[in-house]
Amino acid sequence: MSQATLTSPQTNATTPQEAPVAIVTGGSRGIGKACALALANAGYNVVITYARNADAANDVKATIEEAGQSALAIMADAASPDAAQQVIDQTMEAYGRIDALINNAGITRDNLMMRMNNDDWGAVIDTNLNGVFYTMRAATKIMMKQRRGAIVNLTSISGVYGNAGQANYSASKAGVIGLTKAAAKELAARNIRVNAVAPGFIATDMTKDLPTEEIEKHIPLKRLGQVEDIAKAVTFLVTSGDYITGQVLQVDGGLVV
Ligand code: NAP
């Protein structure tokens, strides 16, 4: 698995005080970390949230700061509406603006549907779907006043096509797609774009126990995705997708063509 790295910010037109601000939920590891570093590279100050790994989150914050951007790391359970509001409030207190929101925090609790207990169903729906709603609702109040904003929600090919053994996860990620499209239609008039990225198999802690060699045989590009592959797509949608909203961009090495 390649490690996300940070070089100097590509935008030197703004000082950290003037820079746009992005929030990345679940920014302490994996895809969220790569998105946080890529957005910092693109000249954003970045607020990351995390569930448990304070050390990892503080490392991401320090890496962003070393490169000259400002960062905050906030412990905030994605499944809590109050925590979502606190993240938005703390971001506004620190920076006074929210230009981009990346809803990335997510979990799996895989099992066959007939064996899936209520807790595993509920935890995945609460974190992966309800959490996206809570953060979007709180952030868009600010973005609507600004008349500007870009939101990218992490879904999955499991949410597009379904995956056996992942009824909870597939349902949560399919819900994110519906939420993304509805929000895109509601918010377009206020110049707020809402898109989703649907990764295939990406090399992170979430997929570390899967049979990599077997999976790679089924991927036309013959490799698992790296976190940077997803971060590039997310950064493109935020920084360059001016006329793109309501879309689901699959980044999966051609797995489901
Ligand atoms: P990961 O390596 O397991 O990292 C998950 C991140 O989310 C961590 O930063 C974690 O924080 C945070 N998090 C988990 N539960 C949280 C909660 N309740 N509140 C706040 N933060 C929470 O996952 P990943 O593979 O990077 O996946 C990121 C996103 O991409 C997820 O939405 C996932 O469903 C989606 N995705 C991944 C793949 C893949 O192949 N990896 C494929 C399709 C979609 P801590 O460090 O504090 O635990």
pLDDT, one tens digit per residue, over 189-231 is 999 999 999 999 999 999 999 999 999 999 999 999 999 999 9
Q: In angstroms, rounded to a whole number, what is the distance separating the alpha carbons of residues 171 and 130?
A: 12
Q: Tens of pLDDT along 63-88? A: 999 999 999 999 999 999 999 999 99
- Reading the block at residue 181, the tokens are 């499209």
pLDDT(11) > 90: no
Distance 204 CA to ligand 1 centre (A): 9
pLDDT, residue 4, reads 56
Q: Is the CB of 52 under 6 A from ligand 1?
A: yes
Q: Of 132, 158, 206, which is best to mutate to test ligand 1, by the most ligand atoms within 8 angstroms of its C-beta?
A: 206
Beta strands 192-199 and 149-154, pairing class = parallel
Q: Of 29, 74, 161, 207, which is best to mutate to test ligand 1, by the most ligand atoms within 8 angstroms of its C-beta?
A: 29
pLDDT, residue 155, reads 99
Asked whether the beta carbons of 55 and 21 are under 8 A apart, the reply is: no
Q: What angle do CA 177, 183, 185 make, to 5 degrees?
A: 110
Q: In angstroms, rounded to a whole number, what is the distance separating the alpha carbons of residues 28 and 82?
A: 20
The residue annotated as part of the active site, out of 44, 50, 95, 169, is 169
pLDDT(46) > 70: yes
Average pLDDT, the chain: 95
Q: What angle do CA 117, 134, 234 make, to 5 degrees?
A: 95
pLDDT, residue 7, reads 43
Confidence of residue 17 (pLDDT cuts 50, 70, 90): confident
Asked whether the beta carbons of 194 and 184 are under 8 A apart, the reply is: yes
249: number of CA atoms within 13 Å, CB side?
A: 21
Instruction: Let me know if 169 is a catalytic residue.
Output: yes
Collapsing DSSP to helix, strand or coil, 209 comes out as: coil
Q: Tens of pLDDT along 229-256? A: 999 999 999 999 999 999 999 999 999 9
